[in-house]
Copies of this chain bind each other. A is one copy, B any other.
Amino acid sequence: MNLRKKFGLFRDLWSPKVVGEINDYQVKLAKIEGEFVWHQHDHTDEFFLVVEGSMRIEYENHHVSLDEGDIHIVPKGIRHRTVADEECWIVIIEPRDVVNTGDVDSDLTAENDVWI
């Protein structure tokens, strides 16, 4: 399965699509642009890989810039938000039942377990 080909199958932003499972973890693709909501995941770390474009992961006192081919793991329980000035394509890996906005209910809270 080719990642870029899969990214070609959808256009909606902030709506993770599941492409596979590693045991009870899911491999999700997302297109992001703009600022996400501040949130945290109390029970899990969250893996990010940038496939196309650039993004930042903002923490309360610093941020991490990610370009194509960069990975970053957000530690569990740490408040953060993702930001992309232009459209950015990312892979997220986390346990199956993780909601994208974590502890926060938001307009950006996406339906979970949507496969593509």
A residues lining the B interface (CB < 8 Å): 1-4, 19-23, 25, 27, 44-47, 49, 51, 67, 69-73, 76, 93-95
Q: Which of B2, B21, B44, B46 contacts A45 (CB 8 A)?
A: B21
Which single member of B25, B69, B73 contacts A2 (CB below 8 Å)?
A: B69
Copies in the complex: 2
Known A25-B22, A25-B25, A93-B22; contact A3-B46, beta-carbon cutoff 8 A = no
Residue among A4, A21, A51, A69 facing the most chain B CB atoms (10 A cut-off): A69
* CB-defined contacts of A69 to chain B, threshold 8 Å: 2-4, 51
Are A93 and B95 in touch, CB under 8 angstroms?
A: no
